[in-house]
């Protein structure tokens, strides 16, 4: 392995270590509502399934890959919603992996004929683990040949292997959501109890708790063509997302556009004091299915060529959009949610 590749691998490991304890954030946050705010549970009018995949910086050796799956079920007779969510994050080609499973509950309070306030809570388990055999230490790097002499096995490290490389912790979060059919604003706090992610035996001063993540999200919907049985409504939705976790800050600002069977969008993401990415979205919807693809063009000093940008796909199955449900809905007074999150 050449010296440049070794340096790239060492840099990747450093980035992975620096990002331990930070949550992955989907660019298509509207297509992963339970990863954004537990108050979204049951906001649709019928059961909904969402699936998400994110491949960040593919030009690096499998830098970051994230998978999410969720299910929601509204309970109108209880003014509530229930949900289940799972998130898997793979950093550094399996060097550091996390799994999160949560049960979500939301309660819906009608303020007036048009405005609603929803409160959500989530609780589950957060698992983290390190693949020790994929770590590279200084005593394994040859000053000339790099990591491993060609044709020979890698030099073993003298570092002591920890007895435990996997950890489980209980995790809690909460959120509020205010919305009508055309306006929404919400705030959520995840990791309220700062779950312990320590993987090494250490004293309390060295234990690592995942920092709380504060999220604020808001937007409104401007319709310019109403839908009917043959076509979807046309609208544009300016929106923003602000996230703060430990020293990490992220701001997404842009707009989502829906027109008949197609939708798209454009956002600018700013991270801390630096420009981060421009995000473009295209997608199609038909019946209960909605598929979206987005690409994050890196705007920081790393650039899109060095990182490969970020690719993200989402699939939503919203049974509220099925023809059978639409026929039954005519007799119902259940509130419609804003189109961007449907």
Stronger pLDDT, 233 or 1, i.e. the higher one = 233
Quote the pLDDT of residue 130: 81
pLDDT band with cut points at 50, 70 and 90 for residue 192: very high
Over the Cα atoms of the chain, what is R_g?
22
Cα angle at 336 between 262 and 230, to 5 degrees? Answer: 40
Calpha distance 86→67 (Å, rounded): 8
Residue 334 pLDDT > 70, yes or no?
no
**Distance between CA atoms of 295 and 57, rounded to whole angstroms?**
11
**What is the domain range of residue 31?**
3-341
In contact, 243 and 213? CB cutoff 8 Å: yes
Beta bridge partners, 231, equal: none
What value does the mean pLDDT take over residues 241-268?
94
Name the pLDDT band for 88 (thresholds 50, 70, 90). Answer: very high
pLDDT digits (tens, 9 = 90+) for 193-212: 999 877 655 545 555 688 99
Give the whole-angstrom CA distance, residue 297 versus residue 137.
Answer: 32
Q: Looking at the 3D structure of the chain, how many domains does it have?
A: 1
Q: What is the tens place of the pLDDT at every residue in 99-116?
A: 999 999 999 998 988 899
pTM: 0.82
The 10s digit of each residue's pLDDT in 118-149 is 999 999 999 988 877 666 666 666 665 555 55
φ and ψ at 151, to 5 degrees?
Answer: 85, 0
Q: Are residues 289 and 317 in contact, defined by beta-carbon separation less than 8 angstroms?
A: yes
CATH classification of the domain holding 216:
2.40.160.40
Q: Which two tokens stand for residue 238?
A: 């300016």
Instruction: Kindly report, residue by residue over 212-224, the tens digit of the pLDDT.
Output: 999 999 999 998 8
Identify the residue with better confidence: 229 or 11: 229
Q: What angle do CA 250, 304, 55 make, to 5 degrees?
A: 65
């Amino acid at each position: 392995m050449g010296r440049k590749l070794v340096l790239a691998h060492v840099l990747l490991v450093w980035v992975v270590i620096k990002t331990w304890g930070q949550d992955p954030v989907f660019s298509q946050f509207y297509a992963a509502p339970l990863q954004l705010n537990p108050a979204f549970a049951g906001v649709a009018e019928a059961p909904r399934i969402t699936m998400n995949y994110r491949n960040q910086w593919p030009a690096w050796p499998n830098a970051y890959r994230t998978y999410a799956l969720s299910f929601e079920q509204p309970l109108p007779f209880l003014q509530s919603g229930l949900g289940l969510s799972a998130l898997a994050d793979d950093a550094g080609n399996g060097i550091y992996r996390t799994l999160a499973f949560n049960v979500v509950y939301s309660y819906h309070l009608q303020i007036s004929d048009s405005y609603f306030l929803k409160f959500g809570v989530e609780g589950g388990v957060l698992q983290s683990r390190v693949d020790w055999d994929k770590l590279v230490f200084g005593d394994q790097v040859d000053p000339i040949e790099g990591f491993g002499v060609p044709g020979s096995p890698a030099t073993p490290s003298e570092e002591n292997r920890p007895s435990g490389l996997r950890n489980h912790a209980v995790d809690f979060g909460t959120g509020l959501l205010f919305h009508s059919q055309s306006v929404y604003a919400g705030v959520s706090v995840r990791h309220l109890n700062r779950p312990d992610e320590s993987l090494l035996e250490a004293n309390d001063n060295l234990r690592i708790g995942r920092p709380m993540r504060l999220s604020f999200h808001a937007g409104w919907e401007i319709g310019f063509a109403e839908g009917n049985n043959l076509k979807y409504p046309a609208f544009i939705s300016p929106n923003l997302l602000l996230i703060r976790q430990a020293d990490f800050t992220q701001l997404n600002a842009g707009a989502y556009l829906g027109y008949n069977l197609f939708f798209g969008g454009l956002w600018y993401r700013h991270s801390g004091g630096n420009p981060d990415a421009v995000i473009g979205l295209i997608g199609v919807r038909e019946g209960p299915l909605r598929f979206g693809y987005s690409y994050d063009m890196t705007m920081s000093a790393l650039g899109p060529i060095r990182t490969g940008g970020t690719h993200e796909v989402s699939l939503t199955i919203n049974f509220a959009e099925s023809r059978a449900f639409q026929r039954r809905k005519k007799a119902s007074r259940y509130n419609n949610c804003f189109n961007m999150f449907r």
